């Protein structure tokens, strides 16, 4: 009953916000929301998509005070966004970036000023845990997503190309610098970098090739940790691996090999390598979703290909099927019957959303999203709208899914 009432109020709120063209109209005596308490108004505002919240912060003084209050950002938990970064190796001006907000079901074309000029075919760009990361031959830098405040760290001990990168939660962060306002404001976490070590003249030891480093922002230093298990040496970069944070552990999973191992962030040790391969799986991706580990993968079945989701028991590594993508959605991601057509299929996700897309440029990067219920027993699939035109031709497409911080956006005055 309460949920239905709140949904009705939310719909009335959206309708009135869209009909209002000036602050005067919004503040008029005819405005239904003038008769609501500030607590109820806050509940409604907190359920809006991020871009609507930002627009609402400029409607009137009351809404601005509610939205900019410190506690509001915690109640208005933003969903993870899906990001696509297209890279043109010839003309840098043709690089483009897009973000998809699943709550508003719309793409946002991001300004190029958010990204460092050093992004190139010789660098690695990715996003995770609310941050953008850029790795070049000798440098590593990061910035809060949607905030162009890039911070360069001391050099990594090993030069990297396409490593796995993750943000360690504050529970395992040793950041306590009280003198740096930037760190105080953003509460910068530690960062883990796994694998992706560049081969220089073909002379890299196996252990070095699997190197793991953790960044401490307080000391601006990198700690060398036990390397990724040797089972991953044949494919040790983000091109062959997927990763997920779950219950104080950083999991690494082989997209093709189906090897899985976890790094205990407290004790800094790797678990024994196991194989996690459901029947018929061709390629699969590990995701932390709805407070559990999930596997999303393409299967080759007697009746044809399918894209399946499995729930994973992190203690036993046993799996159980959760959902199968509707065949018509899977078919809309491809336009040919070639044997290698599935090679361009990618999957990322976090929270309650799992995104599946085709990185082949000829189809304008079609994608779909799966929303997983709170009990992980029901899944709602839907097609994602096409990217906003014009879309340039890219040599490389980078995809990732990350949470965003409403507080950072409001503080940075990004609309």
Residue 20 tokens, joined: 């209002």
Q: How far apart are the first and last CA of the chain?
A: 34
In contact, 365 and 357? CB cutoff 8 Å:
yes
**Whole-angstrom distance, CA of residue 161 vs CA of residue 216:** 21
Q: What are 203-253's pLDDT values in tens digits?
A: 444 446 788 999 999 899 999 999 999 999 887 777 889 999 999 999 999
Residue 293 pLDDT more than 60?
yes
pTM: 0.82
Q: What are 344-356's pLDDT values in tens digits?
A: 889 999 889 999 9
Q: Following DSSP, what letter does each residue of 225-285 receive, concatenated? A: EPPPPGGGTTS-STTTEEEEEETTEEEEEETTT-EEEEEETTTTEEPPPEE---TTEEEEE
Q: How confident is residue 31, by pLDDT bands cut at 50, 70 and 90?
A: low
DSSP state at residue 160: B
Residue 120 tokens, joined: 């190139």
E-strand spans in 175-234?
191-194, 212-216, 221-225
**Which one, of 330, 290, 327, lies nearest residue 312 by Cα?**
290
Q: How confident is residue 311, by pLDDT bands cut at 50, 70 and 90?
A: very high
Residue 83 pLDDT more than 80?
yes
Residue 14: its pLDDT value, please?
52
Asked whether the CA dihedral 137, 195, 150, 364 is positive or negative, the reply is positive
Q: What percent of the chain has pLDDT over 90?
A: 35
Residue 208: its pLDDT value, please?
66
């Amino acid at each position: 009953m309460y949920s239905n009432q709140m949904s009705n109020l939310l719909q009335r709120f959206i309708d009135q916000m869209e009909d209002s063209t000036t602050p005067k109209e919004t503040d008029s005596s005819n405005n239904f929301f003038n008769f609501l308490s500030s607590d109820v108004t806050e509940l409604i505002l907190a359920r809006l998509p991020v871009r609507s919240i930002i627009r609402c912060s400029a409607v009137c003084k009351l809404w601005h005070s509610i939205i900019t209050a410190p506690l509001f950002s915690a109640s208005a938990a933003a969903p993870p966004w899906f990001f696509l970064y297209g890279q043109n190796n010839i003309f840098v001006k043709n690089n483009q970036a897009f973000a998809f907000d699943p709550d508003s079901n719309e793409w946002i074309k991001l300004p190029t000023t958010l990204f460092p000029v050093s992004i190139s075919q010789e660098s690695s760009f990715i996003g995770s845990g609310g941050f953008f990361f850029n790795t070049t031959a000798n440098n590593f830098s990061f910035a809060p997503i949607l905030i162009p405040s890039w911070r360069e760290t001391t050099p990594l001990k090993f030069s990297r190309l396409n490593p796995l990168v993750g943000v360690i939660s504050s529970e395992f962060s040793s950041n306590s610098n009280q003198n740096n306002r930037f760190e105080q404001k953003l509460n910068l976490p530690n960062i883990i970098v796994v694998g992706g070590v560049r081969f220089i003249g073909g002379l890299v030891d196996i252990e070095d090739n699997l190197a793991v480093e953790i960044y401490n922002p307080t000391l601006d230093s990198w700690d060398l940790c036990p390397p990724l298990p040797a089972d991953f040496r044949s494919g040790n970069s983000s091109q062959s691996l997927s990763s997920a944070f779950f219950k104080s552990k950083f999991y690494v999973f082989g997209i093709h090999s189906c090897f899985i191992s976890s790094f205990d962030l407290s004790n800094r040790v790797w678990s024994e390598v196991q194989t996690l391969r459901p029947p018929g799986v061709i390629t699969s991706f590990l995701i932390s979703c709805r407070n559990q580990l999930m596997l999303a993968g393409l299967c080759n079945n007697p009746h044809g290909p399918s894209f399946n989701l499995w729930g994973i028991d992190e203690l036993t590594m046993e799996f159980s099927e959760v959902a199968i993508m509707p065949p018509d959605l899977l078919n809309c991601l491809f336009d040919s019957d070639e044997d290698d057509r599935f090679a361009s299929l990618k999957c990322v996700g976090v929270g309650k959303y799992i995104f599946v897309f085709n990185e082949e440029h000829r189809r304008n990067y079609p994608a779909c999203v799966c929303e997983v219920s709170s009990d992980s027993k029901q899944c709602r699939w839907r097609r994602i709208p096409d990217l906003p035109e014009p879309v340039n031709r890219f040599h490389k497409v980078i995809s990732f899914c990350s949470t965003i911080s409403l507080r950072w956006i409001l503080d940075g005055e990004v609309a």
